[in-house]
Amino acid sequence: MLQKLKQTAKRLKSNLIVLYLSYKDPRVKWYAKLFTLCVVAYAFSPIDLIPDFIPVLGYLDDIILVPLGILLALKMIPREVIEENTAKAREVQSRPKNWYTAALFIIVWVLLAGWMALYVYKEFIQR
């Protein structure tokens, strides 16, 4: 079952370039563009919200969250836009990286680590 889930996730991830191209299309409604932008930015980010080294949870976003976001985004975009951009996506070779999203996740992790360090200091060291 896990292997089947991984294959389905991989098939859905192949639609990321299609979503990236569709997000720029004027026929796509604003809310679909916003959701698609979030999904594509997160998927192309070199850093995950949940790092892969965390057991079980680390792969949760790769196996469930990203494919679910891709599936929902594909449902929001008109079929003709998807079909046109599928043809264009076959020509695209490289996968863009989103360093702005990566920076955002780094900032979140640094702030979380700082908050935890402050908490530990106040609760255990300062006493």
CB 20 within 8 A of CB 98: no
48 lies in some domain: yes
As for how many domains the chain has, the answer is 1
115 lies in some domain: no
Global model pTM greater than 0.85: no
| 47 pLDDT higher than 90 | no
122 lies in some domain: no
Closest CA to 12 of 43, 35, 51, 52: 43
Percent of the chain exceeding pLDDT 70 equals 86
Closest CA to 16 of 91, 73, 87, 60: 73
117 lies in some domain: no
Domain boundaries, position 32? 2-98
123 lies in some domain: no
59 lies in some domain: yes
125 lies in some domain: no
Average pLDDT, the chain: 81
